[in-house]
A = this chain, B = another copy of it.
Amino acid sequence: MGADKDRDQKRRIDTMEELAVAIGVSRPTLSRYFQDPERVSRTSRERIAQGLERVEYVPNFFATRLNRKSTGIIGVVIPYLNDLFFTKLLEAIERAAMAEGYTVITQCSHSDPLIEARAAETFMSMSVDGALVAPLGNQSDMKAHERLRSRLPCVLVDSRPKSMPNVDFVGSNHVQSTGLATEYLCRVGTPPIFLAMPRVNFNAMERELAYIAKMEELGHEPHIIGTEVLNDDGLFEAHGRAVLDREFAAGRLLESSVLCANDRVAIGALRAAASHGLEPGAKRQGGLRIMGHDDYPLCPFAVPSLTTVAQDVEAIGRASVSRLVKTIQAQKNQDEQIVKLFDGELKVRDSA
Contact = CB atoms under 8 A, between A and B. Distances in A.
Contacts of A122: 61, 103
Nearest to A67: B62
B301 A268 contact: yes
Given A237-B300, A298-B298, 9 more contacts: A58-B124, A61-B122, A62-B126, A81-B87, A84-B84, A95-B110, A241-B301, A270-B301, A274-B304
Given A58-B121, A106-B106, A91 B82 contact: yes
A58 B125 contact: yes
B125 A59 contact: yes
Given A271-B303, A274-B303, A301-B271, A87 B82 contact: yes
A63 interface: yes
Residue picked from A64, A103, A271, most chain B C-beta under 10 Å? A271
A95 B110 CA distance: 9
A302 interface: yes
Interface residues of A, number: 50
A303 B60 contact: no
Interface in A120-138: 121-122, 124-127
A301 B233 CA distance: 14
B126 A297 contact: no
A305 interface: yes
A305 B271 contact: yes
Given A110-B95, A298-B267, A126 B84 contact: no
A45 interface: no
Nearest to A87: B81
8 contacts: A62-B126, A64-B125, A81-B90, A81-B91, A82-B91, A267-B298, A271-B300, A303-B303
A110 B122 CA distance: 24
Interface string A303-340: 11100000000000000000000000000000000000
A105 B105 contact: yes
Interface string A85-114: 001101100110000000101101010000
